[in-house]
Amino acid sequence: MKKNSVSILFRLIGLVKPLLVYMILAIVLGVLGFVCANFLTVLATAGLLKIIQKDAVSQIILILLFFAFIRGFLRYGEQTCNHYIAFKLLALIRDHVFAALRKLAPAKLEGKDKGNLISIITSDIELLEVFYAHTISPVMIALLMSIIMMFFFGIFHPLLALYALMAYALVGIVIPLWTHHRYGSLGSQVRHESGSLSSFVLENLRGQKEIIQYDAFEDKLSQLKMRSEKLSDIEKKMKKVQAGNTSLSSSAIILLSIGMIALSGIFVFENLLTAEQAIIVSVAMFSSFSPYLALANLSSTIQPTIAAASRVLEILDEKPQIVENETGEVINGKEISVHQVSFSYDQDQILKDVSLHISENEVIGIVGKSGSGKSTLLKLLMRFWDSESGKITIDQKAIVQIKTRSLRDHESYMTQKTHLFHDSILNNIKIAKLDATLEEVQEACKKASIHDFIMSLPKGYDTPVSECGDSLSGGEKQRIGLARAFLHDGAIMLLDEPTSNLDSLNEKIILKALMEQASSKIIILVSHRPSTISWCDRMISMENGRVS
């Protein structure tokens, strides 16, 4: 097993620490359960031999009944503990992953494969259930059962104990490692292709209208089929390896059990064992492989599990591009200064030596061609990214030194595309201020010229919004985005194309509401519409990443 795989497994095991008591309990119950299962056949054989010899078997029958009765409870207890651990840890891992994504967003998630991310936080994390519920305790149970069974065989002869140890190591260690080696990178390929397929399906579900409009159905279907077949081919290879592992393990168990019969037969011939003892030893060997067979079967699941864990841990280990300031300066949002700021996405320079100063009570309009850096400037003011050079200050405090919570509390930011959640209109707007009253929400909606429309709906503000807001028009979604900005009521309003999807009447209502608040705020409007920019106190033109 590769060093990287081992380190991943140790990290997964380390997460069990808070639930160590439950893990120990699962192992103890599992060992007792297998002891009962193994010795049921041994005691039954001993009982039959006594019946043949016409000896009393009442005690053996009572022990058999006791083992048979508690075996089910022990197995149930073991599985309950294992699954409790698994689902508790999955919840903990999901919490860690979402916290990590929160820190990575938006700088390191911009342009990321969303379908792949969804695959990681759903199916990949779910796959870890196999590791926590069906891997850790079976390994420990097999180890402890080896000690118990070696002690049992050692009572008859030390060589029988050594033979049993060799047999258990072959089935529980050698065969799984050999199978794991045969898997190679198949597990990683399956997780990668599964994530890629999820991304493709998600993208095309959202683009159904365009696919229908441009008659691209056959082409997309062909691509879907090709991706599905590629994933299917890899899974078939995995199934072949799994089948080979199962066949090899089963064959090994039969041959090793026959070997014990032969060895015990030799011992009978050498007068080292009685015939009755040889029969009991052989039966014990046949019935003792269940824990190790479980280990052999792990080789078919451990590779995909390691691949899934690797993808999850990559997110947890990824360093955020922007580290939020939790103890910095607090601001009021009265003044913004941008001094010789430059910024690039990868190798593409977006802003170069941009400088401007904005004071309270100003409404600034920013115009320029697409790609000139207008939206990027707003994102830098939100500190979604840090500039490469230059300095941004608010209230004469460097933006990196400002407490991030204070910065965001004082900024109302509206992006070009308003994302709506699959929830009520009320809750979609209240995301800007979770403790807002209905009256505050309604007032914000009136400023955004969306209140009358909402009231015309059958359930008013409780009307559900479909996924991605597809039940609403572009203009309606945009006005809900504006309502959020009004409700948040930050001292600095950053509005990126706030009126692009609106008619002239709604545009005037919204701009009038903005101007009424301009006396106590800084408002920055990015727009291509002259009618919007005409309301501004000052216009800034950007071209090729510079202020002109």
Give the CA count within 13 Å in the CB-facing half-sphere of 277.
Answer: 18
Measured CA to CA, the distance from residue 351 to residue 342 in angstroms comes to: 5
Q: Edge-to-edge strands of the sheet including 522-526?
A: 411-414, 492-496, 522-526, 363-368, 538-543, 546-547
Q: Which helix (DSSP H) or strand (DSSP E) does residue 493 occupy?
A: strand 492-496
Q: Which of 98, 102, 100 is nearest to 384 (CA)?
A: 102
pLDDT of residue 216: 85
Global pTM value = 0.74
Measured CA to CA, the distance from residue 113 to residue 468 in angstroms comes to: 17
Report H helices in 270-289. Answer: 275-287
DSSP character string of 38-86? HHHHHHHHHHHHHHHTT---HHHHHHHHHHHHHHHHHHHHHHHHHHHHH
pLDDT of residue 184: 66
Neighbours of 445 (CB within 10 A): 26
pLDDT of residue 4: 74
Residue type, 391: K
pLDDT of residue 112: 66
SS3 at position 410 = coil
Please give the structure tokens belonging to residue 403. Answer: 């407490």
Cis peptide before 530 (omega within 30 of 0): no
Task: Give the tens place of pLDDT for each residue, 164-222.
Answer: 999 999 988 888 888 777 776 777 788 778 878 877 887 787 778 788 877 888 888 89
pLDDT of residue 3: 46
Q: Name the architecture of domain 3-317.
A: Up-down Bundle (1.20)
Q: In the chain, what are the domain boundaries?
A: 3-317, 335-547
pLDDT of residue 336: 94
pLDDT of residue 467: 74
pLDDT per 10-residue tile (average), the chain, 548 residues: 72 88 94 92 87 79 90 92 91 89 79 72 83 86 93 94 93 83 74 80 79 83 90 85 82 92 93 92 91 75 79 87 89 93 86 92 90 90 91 94 93 89 92 94 93 93 84 88 92 91 85 84 90 89 84
Q: Name the architecture of domain 335-547.
A: 3-Layer(aba) Sandwich (3.40)
Measured CA to CA, the distance from residue 417 to residue 403 in angstroms comes to: 27
Residue 423 CA: distances (Å) to CA of 81, 230, 338, 416: 36, 37, 38, 21
Residue 336 CA: distances (Å) to CA of 129, 240, 497, 533: 50, 64, 20, 20
Neighbours of 53 (CB within 10 A): 9
pLDDT of residue 502: 84
